[in-house]
Structure formats: C-alpha cells, structure tokens
Chain A
Amino acid sequence: MICIDNLSVNYGGVVALNSLTLNITEDVVGLIGPNGAGKTTMTNAFSGFAPIASGKIVIDDMNLLELPAYKRARWGLARSFQKVQIVNDLRVQDHLLAVIDAKGIDRKKRVWWIDKVLDFVGIADCRDTLGAELNSYRKRMTEIAKCLIGNPKVILLDEPGGGLSESEMQHLRSIISNTKTVFGAQIIMVDHDIDLIRDVCESTAVLDFGKLIAFGPTSEVLQDEAVKVAYLGR
C-alpha cells in the first residue's frame, strides 16, 4: 500500500502540489489532469527530484522521502520518463546491466533477469542492439524492461503510451496489466490517453492546479462533473 500524506511541493512561489493525501491499494492506478496539474511533479516527488515542502510518502512502513534518490531505486522504486532515457552507444543488455549493477543483484542471476524482463516486454531479439538503432517502440520497451529488474515494489510510468501505434498500445496494455502478477509491483501511471487509463487502471486520481480533485474507480472518476470541467474547461 502506498500512502501519500499531506504532500506539498513548492517551486519558489509556485505551489505545484498542494497538501495531497492519497492511499493507493490497487495494482494499477492512473494519474491524470490537465497540463501543469502536478502529475510529473508527483512522480518527481516519489523519485526525489522535486523540492518537498511538507508531507510523507509511506510505502510498506518506509517513508520514501528519507532516502536519497538513488537509494529509492535500490529499495524498490522504479520509473520511466516521459522522454525515453536510452543511451545511444549502449546496448539494450547494458542498459539492464546498469540497473542490475546498481541494485547489487547477484552475478549468477544477471542473465536470468535479462532474459526474464526482455521476454516479458517482447524484445528478446534486440538484446545486443545499440540504443541508437532502436525504434521508438523498442526504446520504450527497453525503458520498461529497466523498471522491472529486481522485483521493484512500485513502478511509476510517465506517459508510457506517448507516440505508440494502436497495435503497440495493445501490447503495452497487456504488459501493464500483467506486471503485478509476474513481478509483484504496483504501478502508478501518468498519461493523457484516457482510453489507455480506462483499460488498465482500476482506480484513477485526478489532479488540477496541484490539488486532488477526484479519486476512485476509473469509470466513476471519468464521469465526475468536476473532472470534466477541469479537462474540458467548462
């Protein structure tokens, strides 16, 4: 269970997140809101890249905010970025090895992990391909594979569906839906694609101007009047 308690983030005078309180028990949770609502700020608060003014993020009795950024990853927080972070002159395998190194996974289990995550995301054939030679879909899959190494507890996906075709989206949906069963991680997903959110997220939180304006089962939230107003500006 993820407990976000009274979390505030300020950038100078700008309040990016305003006393956010949210308890997440579902396997896959969506996070939506108009531009500038605080979605990326929230993922950054999890990762340790945002200036926290107050509050806590407690996962399995551990206050995440007490750990330095890189130790959060070792503890079990993984994330993907809106702009994929693939190094041009590094092979897919080496991207995964970098995470394996950082998490201190046993040498003997390296190959096992690489096989497992690459099979899961369906790009086992490009293990030795350089980052520069991957298409955008394969880059995205490499990014997700990186997140799955070492059984993380929580995975944050920042717009994983950006720029994917319909068939690729279908594949992404199945990956996201199966992650909890195969790897045991809870997923928090930020996306603008309401169809994707509706298909894979049991619950969805809606942010607007740094405040939580709705949280609940996805279908109900998407029918909420306040949410429609925030999104459509009525």
Chain B
Amino acid sequence: MTRQFALPITVFVFSLLALPLLLSALWVKVVTSAVIFSLAAAGISVLFAQLGLINLAQVALIGLGGWVALRLNYGTAIPFTVIVFMAGTTTALIGAILALPALRMRGLYLALVTLMAAGAFQILFNAFQFPNGGSGFWGVAQQSAAEIRLPLLANSDVAYLRYTIVIVALCFCLVAMHRITAPGRAWAMIRQSEANAMAAGVNVTFYKIWAFVLSGFMAGVAGGLLSGALGQLDARSFLAADGILLFALAVVGGVYSWLGALIAGLLFKLLPAVFNNIGLSADLAMVLFGAALLHAIITAPRGIAGQLLVAFSRKSP
C-alpha cells in the first residue's frame, strides 16, 4: 500500500517545492498550463477507462469553465478559489447534459455527438468571446482585458503554479477516491456489461451521468484555473480539433492512472513549447503525437504511464 502512494507523493512534493524554483519565468507559465490541461485529461480518462466512453468535447468544456470563471471574476466579489469551484460545478451540470446521448450511444456515435457539441461551443466562443471586463451579460468590451482577481496567496506566477498544483492534486485524489469506492465498482460492473450491472442492482443511468459530471467538473476547474493563469482567454484556444488532440494524448499518456493524465498535459502544452524553444516547428509535435498514438494503440494500451509504472515497480523491491 505504501509503495502505491510513494510515487504520487514524491511527484507532488517535488513539483510543489522544487519545480517552481528550477523554471525560468517563461517556463513557469508553460508548466502551469500543462498541469491545468492534465486535469482536463484526467476527466477524459475517467470516462474512457471506467466506462469506455469517448468524450471529444473536453477542451470546449475547459472553455466553458473559463467563461464562467471570468464572468464571475469580473461581475462579482466572490473569492477566486470559490469561483474555480463554481466554474467546476457549472461545467459539471453541462457535462451531465452531454451524458444524455451517452445513455443511448457509445463508441463512434457518441464520439461524433461530443465532437458536434465541441463544434457548437467553438462557434459560441467565437461569436460572443470571453468576458474581458466589459458591461452586460457577455462582459465583452473593445478594450484590453481588465485585471482579474487572483487568489490572495498566489499573486505571482510561481505562487500560482503552486496553487494550481495543489488544486490539481486534490482533484486527482477525488478521482482516486471514486475509483476505489462505490462509483468505481459500479463503473466496473457497467464496463463489463450493462445487463450485468442492472442485474446487480446498479443504477446504470445514474452512474453514467455521474461519470460525465465528474469529468465535466475537472474540465470546469481546469477552465477556472486557466483563466487565472492567463488573465484572459481567447476563443481560438478552444477549438473542437483540440478536443480530439487532448483525447488522443490522454490515450498516449495512459488513461488508467493519474500519471497518464499528467503526461498528456505535458505533451499537450509543454512539448510544442520545447520544440519552439529549440528552433523546431511546433507542428512537428503533431507528427510525433501521431506516431505516439499508433504506438499506444498497437503496443501500449496502458499508455506511457503504464510502461513507466511497470518499470518503476520492477526497480523498487
């Protein structure tokens, strides 16, 4: 049992204490974004690993969470952390609506429905933009974005990275708790077959919706955190195509563990920036992702995380 916790705790403590000190100002921002997208990837993993459901709308839901967070940040005096939580719950409710087609469909058809939803959000974001301190419900003005409130303890970039790591770690714990308690067992029954789950008395509808709610909550919290990290959001950052990419990277990273989600976030945000930094085209990352996806599908169904964890458990006696 203790060894099971050794790796996550080591990673958490290292990234909380040491990592922010090792990074330059630019990389602190990039890593913050990467950690935030890890959280959204963890939401994708919950649906895919626990129930075999494909959600391509996760990036759109991050955008939604971001919109809610900015709106509340400009429009109210609610503390930042509470806003992040509210962005999570609002997005979770929208996630529950996405669950309705999932009660009837799975596989390719569900994936298409979520992709359509992501497309719809892309259009809405483009049409209405993100609040930047203007008046009215949409809160958009022809001006550069007004200052937003940040958490009291996280007013610098380094502090905000630490703040993000703590919140993301808490959310990872939330997922882990789900996996080892009643919802995890119910999801396992449903994954085996819905008839099996119903015969065991599992309320299949409730637990499927619950998985979408949890996944949406993660996306919404990620959106809230992203709004604080960037100070403003751009409609072009939440394209439907990015939802497909994040899903693919969640598979490459590995959907069965927290480490996979972390790797997915790093691949999504950090790798293109690294390529840029060393003078390579960021698009090259796409080529690499394609190859990595093939690798994951053919030889590593548990993703990079699965391979790393096996290596780790062999090393330690």
| Interface residues in chain A, defined as those with a beta carbon under 8 Å from any beta carbon in chain B | 47-49, 69-71, 73-74, 78-79, 81, 85-87, 89-90, 94-95, 97-99, 101-103, 146
Least distance between A157 CB and chain B CB atoms (Å):
12
For A81, list chain B residues within 8 Å (CB).
Answer: 195-196, 199
For A49, list chain B residues within 8 Å (CB).
Answer: 195, 198
Least distance between A87 CB and chain B CB atoms (Å):
5
Contact partner of A70 (CB less than 8 A), chosen from B182, B188, B203, is: B203
Please measure, in the bound complex, the distance between the C-alpha atom of A70 and the C-alpha atom of B201, giving whole angstroms. 4
When the two chains form their complex, are residues A90 and B185 in contact, meaning their CB atoms are under 8 A apart? yes
Please measure, in the bound complex, the distance between the C-alpha atom of A98 and the C-alpha atom of B202, giving whole angstroms. 8
Secondary structure type dominating chain A contacts: helix
For B29, list chain A residues within 8 Å (CB).
Answer: none
* Given known A70-B204, A101-B182, contact A78–B199 (CB-CB < 8 A): yes
When the two chains form their complex, are residues A73 and B198 in contact, meaning their CB atoms are under 8 A apart? yes
> Which parts of B170-228 form the interface with A (CB within 8 Å)?
182, 185-186, 188-189, 191-193, 195-204
When the two chains form their complex, are residues A98 and B189 in contact, meaning their CB atoms are under 8 A apart? yes
When the two chains form their complex, are residues A146 and B200 in contact, meaning their CB atoms are under 8 A apart? yes
Q: Give the size category of B's interface with A.
A: 10 to 19
Please measure, in the bound complex, the distance between the C-alpha atom of A72 and the C-alpha atom of B83, giving whole angstroms. 42
When the two chains form their complex, are residues B185 and A101 in contact, meaning their CB atoms are under 8 A apart? yes
Please measure, in the bound complex, the distance between the C-alpha atom of A73 and the C-alpha atom of B198, giving whole angstroms. 7
* Given known A85-B192, A87-B192, contact A98–B199 (CB-CB < 8 A): no
A83: nearest residue on chain B (CB-CB)?
A: B193
Please measure, in the bound complex, the distance between the C-alpha atom of A99 and the C-alpha atom of B196, giving whole angstroms. 11
Please measure, in the bound complex, the distance between the C-alpha atom of A70 and the C-alpha atom of B191, giving whole angstroms. 16
Contact partner of A102 (CB less than 8 A), chosen from B191, B193, B195, B202, is: B202
* Given known A48-B198, A85-B193, contact A102–B188 (CB-CB < 8 A): no
| Interface residues in chain B, defined as those with a beta carbon under 8 Å from any beta carbon in chain A | 182, 185-186, 188-189, 191-193, 195-204
For B200, list chain A residues within 8 Å (CB).
Answer: 73, 98-99, 102, 146
For A101, list chain B residues within 8 Å (CB).
Answer: 182, 185-186, 202
A47: nearest residue on chain B (CB-CB)?
A: B199
When the two chains form their complex, are residues B196 and A89 in contact, meaning their CB atoms are under 8 A apart? no
Please measure, in the bound complex, the distance between the C-alpha atom of A99 and the C-alpha atom of B189, giving whole angstroms. 10
Least distance between B44 CB and chain A CB atoms (Å):
19
Least distance between B212 CB and chain A CB atoms (Å):
18
* Given known A85-B192, A85-B193, A87-B191, contact A47–B185 (CB-CB < 8 A): no
Least distance between B165 CB and chain A CB atoms (Å):
29
Please measure, in the bound complex, the distance between the C-alpha atom of A69 and the C-alpha atom of B186, giving whole angstroms. 15
Least distance between A149 CB and chain B CB atoms (Å):
9
Please measure, in the bound complex, the distance between the C-alpha atom of A49 and the C-alpha atom of B198, giving whole angstroms. 9
Contact partner of A94 (CB less than 8 A), chosen from B188, B197, B202, B204, is: B188
For A97, list chain B residues within 8 Å (CB).
Answer: 182, 185
Please measure, in the bound complex, the distance between the C-alpha atom of A89 and the C-alpha atom of B196, giving whole angstroms. 16
Please measure, in the bound complex, the distance between the C-alpha atom of A85 and the C-alpha atom of B192, giving whole angstroms. 7
For A94, list chain B residues within 8 Å (CB).
Answer: 185, 188
